[in-house]
A = this chain, B = another copy of it.
Amino acid sequence: MARTPRNTLSSELIVRTALDLMECKGTDGFSLRGVAAELGVGPMALYTYFRNKNDLYDAVRDHLMALLPAVPEDAAWPDQVRSVCRGLRLLMLQHPCLAQLLAGRPLSGHETARVAEGLLGVLRNAGFEPEVAARTHTTLFTYVLGATSWEIQMAAERRDPEAWRRLRTTMESLSAREFPTVVELAPELARTTGGDEQFDYGLDLLLAGLRVRTPS
């Protein structure tokens, strides 16, 4: 029966294969059976290493989070915050599946904690009280998550010609009498669905708001 030898599998290997599959087939096209097939193994073999699909998702997420660089030591805190947020966005853009892995599951895992530690440390060192630091951390994280998820979603839509055409036509069919501002700003809206500038704009708004509350 050409049974595969005994210790060919490992969590590491499975996670890497899963990640590869997600990147090339998209999070939707991803399946446990696909990973197993890629590894030349029955679907149930994976259950030796992961209790279910969600556990594998968590492992892949932590695997990706490990790629985030450490916070730069010698910089003013607003620049450190910017650096962390931009880093996370960049990683999400490089690995679009990360958006759904972050949004759909709670934060857990060693590397994920490392990232939180970095940002929280920056805020505490800047002099923010514990509660304000925590609130700010959540705000920044959810902003990055929302903005970048949206950006990725929009980019994907733009790549699918059918969906893109339908979107354009429905946009253009909007009554200029009923929705004058939307129609007027349609080009601007199309331009601001993503990109570095758009991301930094929102980030700078948050930082400007934070500056007002900066502790002495």
Contact = CB atoms under 8 A, between A and B. Distances in A.
Interface stretch (A6-14, A40-48, A184-192): A184-192
Interface residues of A, number: 64
Contacts of A67: none
Contacts of A163: 106
Copies per complex of this chain: 2
Question: Taking chain A's interface residues, is the majority helix, strand, or loop, or is none over half, making it mixed?
Answer: helix
A31 interface: no
A182 interface: yes
Contacts of A114: 179
13 contacts: A113-B179, A130-B185, A134-B192, A135-B202, A138-B150, A138-B193, A142-B149, A142-B150, A145-B146, A205-B206, A206-B206, A208-B209, A209-B209
